């Protein structure tokens, strides 16, 4: 019986080299013939690799982890515990996914980043550098978390949002749209940051440019200023100014439309009066049952005018 020591403290265990790639696979693990396990990669414990997934360049899949679909794990990346990586997801460059975390879609975790707990990273999200995503956090769409940033608890980061440097997003906070959270900023509690840095996004439009929204923006600007984040504060104030400008344009447009409707109503009233006058004229022309030739011409013209009003 062939054995191999996976250096997990259990000593040599029954194992074999995978037919597609030559990497060592413990007999207790399962790797489909369609999956690739490179010569330096290892799959052990009760892990499963199937579909057309690829594991190579010193990657490790172990415990009860699952890697499947077209997922690629390589370059010293580790997937373990009950973690799952699937779809077209990529985990590489020393990154780790563990506990009950899931990475899927076209998401990528790389560069010593860690995703754990019950966190999920999916669609086109990217986690890299020394970032940490854990707890019940969700990172998705085109969102990115990098640097030494932390996103945890029940926080959500999505859209084109970016969390980086040493920033933290946690509790039930939400960061979305084109928002950027950076430096040593902290977004927590039930906070919602969804601001475009170049104006405002659909969430603000849905709020119909209300006074409450403008007030909230200005308060947020003041709060960011206290945190010495002048850039964020300035952008928030600019967004508030932009909303007030658009609201003024909207109100001016409504007033102009009101004037146009009033003018149209007055014109219609005049047309009604003209129709009544013309109808009276026609009755006068036909009064004695006889129409003179000139009167006939006038009648035809009057009827034509009525039909065109």
Query: For 112-144, how does the pLDDT look when each residue is reduced to its tens digit (9 = 90+)?
Result: 999 999 999 999 999 999 999 999 999 999 999
Is the per-residue pLDDT at 236 higher than 90? no
Contact predicate 108/128, CB 8 Å? yes
Residue-level pLDDT at 271: 74
Q: Which of 69-73, 83-87, 180-184 has the lowest mean pLDDT?
A: 180-184
Of 83, 141, 92, 137, which Cα lies nearest the Cα of 112?
A: 92
Residue-level pLDDT at 208: 39
Task: Name which residue leads in pLDDT, 4 or 180.
Answer: 4
DSSP letter at 1 equals: -
Task: Name which residue leads in pLDDT, 105 or 309.
Answer: 105
Provide the β-strand partners of residue 13: 4
State the residue for tokens 């996976």. Answer: 6
Residue-level pLDDT at 238: 72
Q: How many C-beta neighbours within 10 Å does residue 113 have?
A: 26
Residue-level pLDDT at 235: 67
Q: Where in the chain is the domain with CATH 2.160.10.10?
A: 81-194
Average pLDDT, the chain: 82
Does the reported pTM lie above 0.75? no
Residue-level pLDDT at 223: 60
Residue-level pLDDT at 245: 73
Written as six digits, the tokens of 94 are 């020393």
Instruction: State whether the Cα torsion 159-160-165-167 is positive or negative.
Output: negative
Task: Name which residue leads in pLDDT, 178 or 229.
Answer: 178
Instruction: State whether the Cα torsion 92-95-100-101 is positive or negative.
Output: negative
Residue-level pLDDT at 270: 77
Residue-level pLDDT at 220: 64
Q: Which of 36-40, 93-97, 294-298 has the lowest mean pLDDT?
A: 294-298
Residue-level pLDDT at 200: 38
Superfamily name and number for 81-194: Hexapeptide repeat proteins (2.160.10.10)
Q: Which of 31-45, 148-162, 291-305 has the lowest mean pLDDT?
A: 291-305
Q: How confident is the model at residue 262 (pLDDT cuts 50, 70, 90)?
A: confident
Is the per-residue pLDDT at 55 higher than 80? yes
Q: How confident is the model at residue 226 (pLDDT cuts 50, 70, 90)?
A: low
Share of the chain above pLDDT 70, in %: 72
Beta strand 162-163 with 96-97 is unpaired
Residue-level pLDDT at 268: 75
Written as six digits, the tokens of 64 are 């009860």
């Amino acid at each position: 019986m062939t054995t191999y020591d996976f250096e997990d403290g259990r000593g040599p265990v029954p194992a074999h080299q995978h037919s597609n790639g030559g990497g060592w696979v413990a007999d207790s693990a399962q790797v489909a013939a369609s999956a690739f396990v490179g010569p330096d990669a290892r799959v052990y414990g009760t892990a499963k690799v199937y579909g057309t997934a690829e594991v190579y360049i010193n990657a490790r899949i172990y415990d009860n982890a699952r890697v499947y679909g077209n997922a690629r794990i390589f370059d010293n990346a580790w997937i373990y515990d009950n973690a799952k990586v699937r779809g077209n997801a990529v985990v590489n460059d020393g990154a780790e996914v563990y506990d009950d975390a899931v990475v899927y879609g076209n998401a990528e975790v790389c560069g010593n980043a860690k995703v754990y707990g019950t966190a999920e990273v999916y669609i086109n999200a990217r986690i890299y550098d020394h970032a940490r995503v854990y707890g019940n956090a969700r990172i998705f769409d085109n969102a990115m978390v990098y640097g030494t940033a932390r996103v945890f608890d029940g926080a959500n980061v999505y859209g084109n949002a970016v969390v980086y440097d040493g920033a933290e997003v946690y509790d039930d906070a939400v960061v979305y749209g084109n928002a950027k959270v950076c430096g040593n900023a902290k977004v927590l509690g039930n906070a919602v940051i969804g601001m475009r840095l170049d104006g405002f996004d659909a969430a603000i439009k849905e709020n119909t440019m209300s006074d409450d929204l403008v007030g909230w923006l200005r308060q947020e600007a003041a709060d960011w200023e206290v945190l010495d984040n002048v850039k964020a504060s300035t952008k928030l104030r600019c967004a508030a100014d932009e909303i007030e400008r658009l609201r003024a344009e909207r109100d001016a447009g409504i007033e102009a439309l009101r004037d146009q409707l009033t003018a149209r109503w007055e014109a219609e009233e005049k047309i009604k009066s003209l129709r009544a006058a013309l109808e009276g004229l026609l009755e006068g022309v036909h009064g004695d049952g006889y129409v003179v030739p000139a009167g006939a011409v006038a009648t035809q013209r009057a009827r034509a005018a009525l039909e065109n009003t």
